[in-house]
Amino acid sequence: MKRATQLATVAVIAFAMLAAQPASGYLADLTLPAAGGCPALDRWNISASQPLNRRWSTSLPLAPVTILTVAAQNSAAQLTEIENTITAAFGAWSGVSGTTFNATNYPGVIGPLTNVSAADACSNDSESNIDGLNTICFNQPSMGFTTGVLAFTRVITANAPGATVGSGPPAAFAGQILDSDTLFRNDGEATFATPGALSSTQGQGAYDLESLLTHELGHWFGLDHSAVWRAMMFPYAPPPGQFLGSRPTTNLPDAQLSDDDRTGIRMLYPDPNDAVNVGAIRGQVQPANPFVLATIPQPYPGASVTGIFGAHVVAVNAATGSVIAGTFGGWSCNSSNPDAVPQFDGSFDIERLPVGNSYWIYAEPLVGLAQPGDFSGALGDLCPSNSAGPCTMPPVDTNFNPRALPSGP
């Protein structure tokens, strides 16, 4: 039996101080195909005939209590309140227009939310128990809960067509997500509150369950962290008692998300009928003095470093000043060549931008609150399996000062 071998773990960290194929990941994770060639974006292969399977465990910590609700603990009403919060978090992503995840234009692609009673319903610290089911767990311990980790999502992807886990169908392509599970801390080190409970006195010291769920579900769908501060996929949670964005409504189901989040999910699941979000801006981030790159060793035979790796490239709507999308520049790969390997040439590709607008583009080093280590899925190991020798990834370049170039004629 063929098995998936790519394992990625991403986490939300508590933040106490404040509330060619270029690199086009935005905040997307990547899988290296077993057969070699260019890295593949992690994404689901879903349709109305093969909807996203999703469920949650109704087992909740009782001593200590970590899930705060308006309804009484250990009651049917409490489970309904939590399930409504989960549904709203899913609705934020399925409410984004211009995607095949959109629940209105593509009904049936997201299956019904079911529940199970087992506390250990999520795939945990061993690949031997990966079941191919996609579960949210609130009462399951894990070695993944190191200091500061509030919740994490473990995503299993196929590194080749035909790979399977559990009883799920075989993968159609490398990078296909086969299993996603989210675990919330249950040891009393943190408490989480539903929207109703967060606004009450009891929820003032708790983290917003809906914000964290929405963030973790972004990982479910293949998104990595974002370096945009307002983004739902920013790697740090809002402080206790606060939430990100606006609460979703029937008219604005994706209200929690930022434009950067929306652009990222559109890139992974583009709607072929979308005629609005079809713009793209491509380029390279190059040093003013190319000789500074000469000290970086060749990553592996056939690859070279000719541009800045890991710069955060941001597209801003020139009329409104809003950040529409950010991506990480640094590499490109010729996807039409099955034997191609990534080249570290500073390339970036910001896709799925709304047309009819003007954009400012700027690049910045990752030297602020968000550090390179927060983006391991998008800036991690790009060493292909068909490289002709040992591979050493170039370091993320954080030692540069952006400079605006004069406008062309």
* H helices, E strands: number in the chain: 5, 18
Per-residue pLDDT of the chain (409 residues; tens, 9 = 90+): 223 333 333 333 333 222 244 444 456 888 989 988 889 999 999 999 999 999 999 999 999 999 999 999 999 999 999 999 999 999 999 999 999 999 999 999 999 999 999 999 997 766 667 888 999 999 999 988 999 999 999 999 999 999 998 888 899 999 999 999 999 999 999 999 999 999 887 777 999 999 999 999 999 999 999 999 989 999 999 999 999 989 988 889 999 999 999 999 999 999 999 999 999 999 999 988 888 898 898 898 888 899 999 999 999 999 999 999 999 989 999 888 888 888 999 999 999 999 999 999 999 999 988 888 888 777 877 888 777 778 888 999 998 887 665 554 4
CA 155 to chain centre: 10
**CA separation for the pair 149, 193 (Å, rounded):** 16
Give the H or E element holding residue 327. strand 323-328
Please state whether beta strands 177-184 and 135-137 pair in parallel, antiparallel, or not at all (unpaired).
parallel
pLDDT of 388 reads 73
Q: Please give the angle made by the CA atoms of 68, 73 and 76, to the nearest 5 degrees.
A: 115
- Residue among 163, 151, 169, 189 at smallest CA distance from 56: 151
pLDDT of 128 reads 62
Is there a contact between 264 and 270 (Cβ–Cβ < 8 Å)?
no
pLDDT of 215 reads 96
Between helix 259-268 and helix 209-220 the angle, nearest 10°, is 30
Domains, the chain, ordered by start: 6-268 (3.40.390.10), 277-379 (no CATH)
**CA separation for the pair 303, 315 (Å, rounded):** 28
The reported pTM is: 0.91
**Is 310 buried (19+), middle (13-18) or exposed (0-12) by CB count in 10 A?**
buried
pLDDT of 235 reads 92
pLDDT of 400 reads 86
Residue at token pair 């009891």: 202
pLDDT of 4 reads 35
- Residue among 306, 403, 309 at smallest CA distance from 362: 403
Taking CA atoms, 395 is separated from 330, 344, 379, in Å, by: 11, 11, 9
Extract the tokens encoding 282: 């491509």
Residue at token pair 């086969």: 178
- What 3-state class would DSSP assign to 70? coil
DSSP state of 213: H
